Structure 1
Amino acid sequence: MRVPGPLPGIPGIQQSRHPGGPGVPLRPHDTAAVREGRPVKRRIPDKTWAAAPCYGAPMPSIREFQVTFDCAEPERVARFWCEVLGYVVSPPKGFATWDAFDRSRPPEDRGSWFACSDPSGAGPRLFFQRVPEGKVVKNRQHLDVRVGTGLVGEERLAALEAECARLVALGAVRVRLLADDNDSCIVMQDIEGNEFCLD
């Protein structure tokens, strides 16, 4: 595992001008420090010591974060998630609309991609790409749609059920309620079967 360079603001680590250039290697014993939120100290090329940032620290090399969905119908799934999250359609850079982007592509590629984003800029961009194969197993990761934050018991369950009813009307599928005295959640599927939770 490697911490990618550059790491601005950390003494002794210079900005790399070569993509894929050397990073700061992490050794197996470093993982305990990262898990515990302690800095990882590492001897670096100029013989000075530096503390690499831990979980929760800014990651200055990341410019944008997005979540990508493989799907059969990118625009349809993207518009579903716009309704779920209050997102807006975000056209590709350099194009006013997705239609304009599609017209620039070969016919076989048209409709292969779509995206939406949080109008406030707080949430990640969601990107949808067409793939030939269908979904056959449970997702290894999923989104949690946080509608019950700060609520417990019956009040939380009422908020989850109200949101579940709204999303089922949009085409989502209710899978099951995971009941708990205080922290219930509802497992759902989007319009192409991707799991998510109302939490």
Structure 2
Amino acid sequence: MSIKKFQVTFDCADPERVARFWCEVLGYVAPSPPEGFASWDAYNDSLPAEERGAWFACSDPMGEGPRLYFQRVPEGKVVKNRVHLDVRVGTGLVGEERLAALEAECARLEALGAVKVRVLLADEENESCISMQDIEGNEFCLD
């Protein structure tokens, strides 16, 4: 059986803004504008008004992680996500060292507009993690 490539799709109000947030979080890159356009603004200006800014994407520059695709939807986020990203910043760390790494990354992401929801401290089964929300309220964890 072969490993399949996949992308993660986000419904959102402002696809480019949310995509660029996740580029900063993950070290991903935005694609070049479509052929024949000097910028994404120029591309969007060429579209009918209802199609401008309808989607944006970003990808892992190393080609290892999944592509992230952001699509505009008319409704806002109402309930908890059923799928979320775990941003792995504490892998291999335990105790206070892990919590310090998580808190440092949390502070960086808060400066980008993310919101800390709660800190889940280590117990007998799990290491510490921090539950957060991106700039449109989508949940994710620092793990």
Aligned residue number for residue 136 of structure 2: 192
Query: What is the 5 A alignment of 1:1-199?
Result: 53=1, 58-59=2-3, 62=4, 64-91=5-32, 94=35, 97-181=39-123, 183-199=127-143
Structure 1: unaligned runs, 5 residues or longer: 1-52
| CA spacing shift, 1:95–1:84, aligned 2, 3 Å | farther
- Output one character per residue of 1:133-183: Cα deviation in whole Å (capped at 9) or x when no partner: 000000000000000001111111110000001000110000001111560
Structure 1 residue matching 2:20: 3-state secondary structure: helix
TM-score by length of 2: 0.90
Identity level (%): 77
Partner AA of 1:158 in structure 2: A
Please report how far the alpha carbon of residue 105 of structure 1 lies from its aligned counterpart in structure 2 after TM superposition: 2.5
Distance in 2, Cα, partners of 1:135 & 1:185 = 23
Q: Is the 8 A contact 1:91 1:115 kept in 2?
A: no
| CA spacing shift, 1:196–1:95, aligned 2, 3 Å | farther
Structure 2: unaligned runs, 5 residues or longer: none
Query: Of the two, which has the highest radius of gyration?
Result: 1
Of structures 1 and 2, the one with the larger relative CO (CA 8 A, separation 6+) is 2
Please report how far the alpha carbon of residue 65 of structure 1 lies from its aligned counterpart in structure 2 after TM superposition: 1.7
Q: Is the 8 A contact 2:34 2:43 kept in 1?
A: no
Aligned CA RMSD, in angstroms, stands at: 1.7
Partner AA of 2:49 in structure 1: P
